[in-house]
Structure 1
Amino acid sequence: MTLAMSWDEWASHDATALADRVRAGALTPAELAAQAAAAIAATNPTLSGVVELFEDAVADPRANGTNTEGPFAGVPYLMKDLGPTLKGRLQEMGSRLMRGNRAAADSYLAGRIRQAGLNIIGRSTTPEFGCCSSAENPEVYVTRNPWNTGYTTNGSSAGTAAMVSAGALPISHATDGGGSIRIPAGACGLVGLKPSRGVFSIAPHASDLTGLVSIQGCHTRSVRDTAAFVDACRGGAPGEFMPYWSAPEPYTRLIERDPPRLRIALSHEWGDHRAVPHFVAELERAGRLLESLGHHVDWAVPQVDFRAAFAAQTTCYISNFAQTVNNLITPLGLSRPPADKVEPINIRIWEEGLNTSFTERARMQAVFNTTSRGFGAFLEEWDIILTPITALPTPVIGTTEYLTTSSNPSVQDWFANLWRNFAYTPLSNLCGIPAISLPLGWQESGLPLGIQAQAAQARDGLLLQLAAQVERAIGGRWNDGRRPKVHVAGRG
């Protein structure tokens, strides 16, 4: 098959550039889909980032309702196998239990994505129910990091991170309940924004109020693609429990201007958690770059009770997740998750969380309130909190302590161990504030290290402005212009 572009040309285009070429008549949506399918065929056997390719959507980008006149003009897109549903399509959530599960209807966000002109051509991998730090169960699949296949991508947006990083496509769906957009973006050298609450709808199956910590988003290789995705896909469905807010101007226009001089707090000593020395040095290096752009940079720590905050977050995950599992097994006529089809930690979470009392949830919500107020007060003093994306290096494949295949008998200890590594991302979910991972650092292993910027509620635009300013300052060369070992165009 003759492809419309060379692989170097394909890899050098972000989604916005591809859409511009379609509008100019130089490419068609079908040619884009064919190129992405060929890229997936070339990289997926090594990376295991795609569960299924929708051949009908590749053959005819308009067949599933994609608006090829939308801003993305038919650019190919993968949907994480969790969250938004596609009518009649499989959604198996990384779980043996859910094999063969087909969605009865499109979710609201799926419609927004298609209206934006993104052609959903397949499903990307995720750990079982999105619960752990890596899509890594050999009985399901093992998703590998394109920079070094001996390492995980982290999770839970694992397949999306692998495929966008490997150049298979420029943009893909991700979700974030505690860092699952930002952490894999950080380990794979991508731009990953977790927006504020009230941006992307999760209708009709839940709402921001009932989900409390989870939010939708994407992985990209350019700030303008992320900005365009938010502009095109944001907004609430009828009957939302809370208001969905709009930005004063489109982010695609806002990011053309530099932000004002910002007060940026470098931070990594969060309660019991500390980043390894190399990550602290990379954080300082990012701080010096921001200082050179005219920003005020210094060390500071939000005045919150971090132990209480992480304990409340753990209660939220355990109780929310137990109900999620219950909602999945009840229609199957099961009274408990079967041990031969559900991973051990997920069963233990279900057991522990099913009977969480209203009093426990009320205590949890009280801590959510005090933590949010603490971060809110801090972000009156500072515009940005800058942290490494994780406290510890990305694990090698087979590090079971972070996986839901772990034999750890204690759910509380399992979560406490997660926080030791993934210390800097979950509290922005608790507070509902925006956060973005930018590919500005390196780990000693040679993997990328994301540097995370967090801002006050509804200041998503400010994060994107800062990200765009940095992108311009480095000449668009995220990851120092390097490519991963597994890449459609070869190693950079």
Structure 2
Amino acid sequence: MSLAMTWDEWARHDATALAARVRAGEVSPAELAAQAAAGIARTDPALSAVVEVFEDVVADPLRDGMDPAGAFAGVPYLMKDLGPTLKGRLQEMGSLLMRGHRATADSYLAGRIRQAGLNIIGRTTTPEFGCCSAAENPAVYVTHNPWDTGYTTNGSSAGTAAMVAAGVVPISHATDGGGSIRIPAGACGNIGLKVSRGVFSIAPAASDLTGLVSIQGCQTRTVRDTALFVDRCRGGAPGEFMPYWTPAEPYTDLIRRDPGRLRVALSHEWGDYRATPHLVAELEKAGRVLESLGHKVDWALPAIDFRAAFAAQTDCYIGNFAQTVGNLIAARGLDRPPEGLVEPINIGIWEEGRHISFTDRARMQAVFNTTSRGFGAFFEDWDIILTPITARPTPPIGTTEYLTISDNPSVRDWFSNLWRNFAYTPLANLCGIPAISLPMGRQESGLPLGIQAQARQANDGLLLQLAAQVERALDGKWNEGRRPGVHVAG
């Protein structure tokens, strides 16, 4: 098959650049879709990151309502197999229980994505119901990191992270209930922004009030692609339970200017959790980069009860996932999750969480409130908190302790162990504040290490401004200009 570009040429284009070429008449959305599908065929045997390619949409990019006049002009896009639904398409959520499940309607965000000119050509892998650190269950699939296939991508936006890092697509869908955009972006060398509350809708089936912590988004390789995605896909559906907000200036304009001198707090000692010495050294190196750009950098920490915050976050996850599993089995006429079709930790979460009371939930929300106020007070004195994306290195494939196929008999102990590694991301979800993973570091294994920046609520634009400033300082060469071992360009 003849392709529109060489693979080197393809890999050099971000989504904004591809869209510009479509508008110039140099390439068509169908040619872009065919090249992305060929890229999947070229890399996915080594990565196992794509569940399905929508061959009918590859052949006809307008089939499902994509608007070619949208900002992305038909750029191919993959949807994580969790979250927004696509009418008539399978959505199996990484679960044997959900095999063959088809959505009956488009979600509101799916419509926004298509209106933005993104052509949804397939589904990417996720752990079961998005509830663990990697898409790694041999009975379903095992997604590999393109930098070194002996390692996981982390999760839960596993397949998206692999496909963006491998150069197959420049942008792909991700979700984040505790770091699931940022953590795999960090392990795969991508940019991953978790926005504030009130940006991306999860209508019509749910609202931010329902999930409280879960956020939609994307991963990209350039800041301008992330900014454009947020600009064009944000907004609430009719009947939202909270106001959806819009900044005074589009982010695509804002990121062209450097931010003013920022007060940046370096931090890695979050209650009981500490990063390894190598990751701390990488954080310090990132701090020096920001200092060289004129920012004030020092060590500082919000005055919050981290132990109480993580306990409340655990209660939230147990309650939310128990409801998710409960709703899915009820729709199938089942009174409990069937063993063999639902992974052991998720069955345990259902058992633990199905009787959580309103009183339990109110206590949890009281801790959310005090934690959020503590971060709010901190951001009166500081603009940014900088942390490593994780406290420990990315695990090799087969490390089951963080997976929902774990044989840990206690789901609370399982969550506590999860936080030892993934300590720095979930509290942003709890507080509703924005956070971004930037590919500024390197693990001892050679894998990328994301450096996370967090800011006060609705200061998403400042994070993107800072990210764009760093990107310019690096001459666009994230990951020191390296490419992963598995890549479309070889």
TM-score by length of 1: 0.99
The one-letter amino acid paired with 2:191 is V
The one-letter amino acid paired with 2:336 is R
Q: Are residues 1:143 and 2:140 paired?
A: no
- Give the Cα separation in 2 of the matches to 1:239 and 1:318: 27
Aligned-residue offset at 1:470:
0.2
The one-letter amino acid paired with 1:430 is L
The one-letter amino acid paired with 2:372 is S
Match of 2:414 in 1: 414
Deviations 1:339-379 (A, max 9, x none): 01000000000000000011111110000000000000001
Q: Secondary structure at the match of 2:352?
A: helix
Aligned-residue offset at 1:197:
0.2
Match of 1:298 in 2: 298
Match of 2:436 in 1: 436
- Give the Cα separation in 1 of the matches to 2:135 and 2:68: 32
Match of 1:90 in 2: 90
Alignment of 1:104-119 (within 5 A): 104-119=104-119
Q: Are residues 1:449 and 2:444 paired?
A: no
Match of 1:16 in 2: 16
Q: Which runs of 5+ in 1 are unaligned?
A: none
Aligned-residue offset at 1:452:
0.2
Counting matched residue pairs gives 490
Match of 1:269 in 2: 269
| RMSD after superposition | 0.3
Match of 1:128 in 2: 128
Alignment of 1:368-383 (within 5 A): 368-383=368-383
Q: Are residues 1:80 and 2:80 paired?
A: yes
The one-letter amino acid paired with 1:229 is F
Match of 1:26 in 2: 26
Match of 1:477 in 2: 477
Match of 1:332 in 2: 332
The one-letter amino acid paired with 1:213 is V
Aligned-residue offset at 1:414:
0.1
- Give the Cα separation in 2 of the matches to 1:269 and 1:325: 34
Match of 2:199 in 1: 199
Q: Are residues 1:221 and 2:221 paired?
A: yes
- Give the Cα separation in 1 of the matches to 2:320 and 2:4: 46
- Give the Cα separation in 2 of the matches to 1:370 and 1:9: 50
Aligned-residue offset at 1:419:
0.3
Q: Secondary structure at the match of 2:218?
A: strand
Deviations 1:308-327 (A, max 9, x none): 00000000000011011111
Aligned-residue offset at 1:84:
0.2
Aligned-residue offset at 1:294:
0.3
The one-letter amino acid paired with 2:81 is D
Q: Are residues 1:48 and 2:48 paired?
A: yes
Q: Secondary structure at the match of 1:437?
A: strand
- Give the Cα separation in 1 of the matches to 2:96 and 2:4: 38
- Give the Cα separation in 1 of the matches to 2:244 and 2:354: 30
Deviations 1:261-280 (A, max 9, x none): 00000000000000000000
- Give the Cα separation in 2 of the matches to 1:340 and 1:199: 37
Q: Secondary structure at the match of 2:302?
A: coil
Alignment of 1:351-390 (within 5 A): 351-390=351-390
Match of 2:486 in 1: 486
- Give the Cα separation in 2 of the matches to 1:294 and 1:177: 33
- Give the Cα separation in 1 of the matches to 2:358 and 2:32: 51
The one-letter amino acid paired with 1:349 is I
- Give the Cα separation in 2 of the matches to 1:177 and 1:250: 25
Match of 1:232 in 2: 232
Aligned-residue offset at 1:448:
0.2
- Give the Cα separation in 1 of the matches to 2:99 and 2:328: 12
Deviations 1:148-200 (A, max 9, x none): 00000000000000000000010000000000000000000000000000000
The one-letter amino acid paired with 1:27 is V
Match of 2:344 in 1: 344
Aligned-residue offset at 1:5:
0.1
- Give the Cα separation in 2 of the matches to 1:382 and 1:486: 40
- Give the Cα separation in 2 of the matches to 1:70 and 1:226: 15
TM-score by length of 2: 1.00
Match of 1:173 in 2: 173
The one-letter amino acid paired with 2:270 is W
- Give the Cα separation in 2 of the matches to 1:380 and 1:230: 26
Q: Are residues 1:255 and 2:255 paired?
A: yes
Q: Secondary structure at the match of 2:96?
A: coil
Match of 1:61 in 2: 61
- Give the Cα separation in 1 of the matches to 2:232 and 2:264: 29
Deviations 1:72-124 (A, max 9, x none): 00000000000000000000000000000000000000000000000000000
Q: Secondary structure at the match of 2:452?
A: strand
The one-letter amino acid paired with 2:309 is A
Match of 1:100 in 2: 100
Q: Are residues 1:397 and 2:397 paired?
A: yes
- Give the Cα separation in 1 of the matches to 2:291 and 2:322: 45
Deviations 1:404-428 (A, max 9, x none): 0000000100000000000000000
- Give the Cα separation in 2 of the matches to 1:340 and 1:296: 53
Aligned-residue offset at 1:456:
0.2
Aligned-residue offset at 1:36:
0.1
- Give the Cα separation in 1 of the matches to 2:205 and 2:355: 22
